Amino acid sequence: MAEEKTEEAPKKSKLPLIIIAAVVVLALAGGGAWFFLKGDSSEDDEKAKAKTSAIEAIPVYMAIDTLTVNLKDSRQYLQLTISLQLKNTEDSGLIKLYMPQVRTRALIILSNKKPEDVISAEGKLALLEELKTITEKPFTEKLEPIEILDVSFTSFIIQ
């Protein structure tokens, strides 16, 4: 009898195949996690723009010390305090620097008012507009006008 010799091929280990499969699965899981955590970049851009516009929308107010003047052709006086709403904080530094001019301009406008000019609501609104206009004017020839968004009374007394 002839003996047939059959050699069995040595069994190959499945360990390298398992390692490669595990690396592929981990890479896919990591990529998926990054994608979901990172999110859409356009959404991030929109959020950043919204945050920036929200910061820009925060009002910047600057109080002007109380102003007291004798009203024209009268024994009455006007005492008021105003606040300026500025476009940005840089303008508040400029207003502080030129505060004597701001107060002088306001005092000149106020001292030329008669009591009947400022008692009515329309007169008060007109006065606010005048104060805004004179404050926006450049303080020197080299400076640009300051943008005042609003002027508000914080105190208003006529006696």
Contact 57, 123 (CB under 8 A): no
Nearest CA-CA partner of 114 in 126, 104, 103, 102: 126
Name residues whose C-beta falls within 8 Å of residue 59's C-beta, 6 or more positions apart in sequence: 85, 149
- Decide: 62 and 98 in contact? Cβ < 8 Å: no
Phi, psi (deg, nearest 5) at residue 84: -100, 135
pLDDT of residue 18: 80
Cβ neighbours of residue 80 closer than 8 Å, sequence gap 6 or more:
66, 67, 110, 153, 155, 156, 157
Q: Is the pTM of this model over 0.75?
A: no
- Distance between CA atoms of 17 and 22, rounded to whole angstroms? 9
Sheet with 148-158: list strands edge to edge. Answer: 60-70, 77-86, 148-158
Class of domain 59-158: alpha beta
For 117-134, the pLDDT digits (tens) are 999 999 999 999 999 999
Mean pLDDT of 84-108: 92
Of the listed ranges 14-18, 66-70, 79-83, 138-142, the one predicted with least confidence:
14-18
User: What's the rounded mean pLDDT across residues 61-74?
Assistant: 93
What is the number of other CB atoms lying within 10 angstroms of the CB of residue 94? 16
Q: Where are the domains of the chain?
A: 16-55, 59-158
61: tokens are 């107010």
